[in-house]
A and B are shown apart, each in its own frame.
Chain A
Amino acid sequence: MTYSIAIFIALAIITVGAAIAVVTLRNVFHAALMLVVAFFGVAGFYVLLEAGFFAAAQVLVYIGAISVLLIFSVMLTRGVFMAQARNQQSGYAAVAAGVMFVLIAALVGPIAINWPGLRLGNFVLPPRVLGNPIEFAVPSPKAVQPDYLTRFGSNLVETYGVGFLLAGVLLLLAMVGAIWVARERKLMEIVLERREMAAEAQAESDADMAAGVEAPAIPAAPAEPAAGAAH
């Protein structure tokens, strides 16, 4: 019993500390490594909550896939140098996050002190769901049934089958879209090149006008640069 409380406190310190390091470290690569630590801490919380499957999924999906993706992106954008890690509105962002935390803590407070609710005539705080007051202050929650994972799996494809299929379609579209967006393409270069050419033509015709020479009526439109030629 006391072991689990000690583990909880250690996990809390590690997770929140790593999360603070993620948002404050100037080096984005170090921030990504701290993010891995924070993900591990959250996986530990899942273990404490007796949801071992989700702890495994957290390690596989977040640490195995998303962190590696983030670290790859940090490597691919290695050339950028940032003078400072935070933008101008970071003070306001800190205030916003602090206010948010206070508001959520105010919502959690009644659960913490086992607040029975406030009755004002027919109006009851905390609000009711389908006529029943929400029993948040569970003194001793029921044990997880041993076959919870089996029932989770069958529920996922039966009761929530439509959502499951839509999630699959979403993932497929996201992957195709990611490849489409990140493919080799120099659209912005093409646009900037065209803008430069137009400006040059304009400057030329202006100079001709100033020199009194009969300028060509309209500077010839710059030729469409081939999309592949830019690279």
Chain B
Amino acid sequence: MNGINGIPLWAFLIIAAALFCIGLYGALARKNAIAVLMGVELMLNGVNLNLIAFWRFIAPDSSAGLVFAAFVFIVAAAEAAVGLALIISVYRNLNSVDPEKLDQMKL
């Protein structure tokens, strides 16, 4: 039987790729900054799924893949905290969460 309980590596990789690309679309196309952050979270989840799938299939004896995945978790938490703080600060000042309205630094 190939793979883990019959599930091959490429199946996990395709799911991870789908999550990443859906997140990419969300990050590029949404008009609400919070929804953009949701897209980024989806992308990070896709990356993490890739890391853990490769760890399980290629190198289950080493914990490098798990350590990488743990760091992605930490970076995702930090990114969400800072990103949402920025969005709330922008909302207080401009009464809007549309990223396209944030053009004060344009010449």
B is a partner of A: yes
Binding site for B on A (CB under 8 A): 1-2, 4-5, 8, 12, 15-16, 19-20, 22-23, 28, 31-32, 35, 38-39, 42, 45-46, 48-51, 54, 57, 61-62, 65-66, 69-70, 72-74, 76-77, 79-80, 82, 84-87, 89-90, 92-94, 96-98, 100-101, 104-105, 108-109, 111-112, 135-145, 148, 151-152, 155-156, 160, 163, 167, 170-171, 174-175, 177-179, 181-182, 184-189
Are A54's CB and B66's CB within 8 A? Answer: yes
Q: Is B105 an interface residue (CB 8 A)?
A: no
With A66-B80, A69-B81, A94-B25 already in contact, the answer to whether A42 and B45 are too (CB < 8 A) is yes
Are A70's CB and B30's CB within 8 A? Answer: no
Are B88's CB and A77's CB within 8 A? Answer: yes
With A4-B6, A38-B42, A61-B77 already in contact, the answer to whether A89 and B56 are too (CB < 8 A) is no
Are A49's CB and B8's CB within 8 A? Answer: no
Are A76's CB and B88's CB within 8 A? Answer: yes
Are B85's CB and A23's CB within 8 A? Answer: no
Kindly report which residue of chain B lies nearest to residue A177, judged by CB atoms: B82
Residue from the list B6, B41, B45, B81 in contact with A1, Cβ < 8 A: B6
How many angstroms between the C-alpha atoms of A86 and B52 in the bound complex? 32
Are B67's CB and A155's CB within 8 A? Answer: yes
Are B34's CB and A73's CB within 8 A? Answer: yes
Which chain A residues border B10 with CB–CB below 8 Å?
108-109, 111-112
Which chain B residues border A31 with CB–CB below 8 Å?
35, 38
Residue from the list B1, B26, B52, B56 in contact with A22, Cβ < 8 A: B26
What are 27 residue pairs bridging A and B, where the CB atoms are less than 8 Å apart in the complex? A1-B1, A15-B15, A16-B19, A22-B26, A23-B39, A31-B35, A35-B42, A54-B66, A57-B73, A61-B77, A73-B84, A77-B91, A85-B31, A87-B31, A87-B100, A97-B24, A104-B20, A108-B10, A135-B58, A138-B57, A142-B61, A170-B74, A174-B77, A178-B81, A181-B82, A182-B84, A182-B85
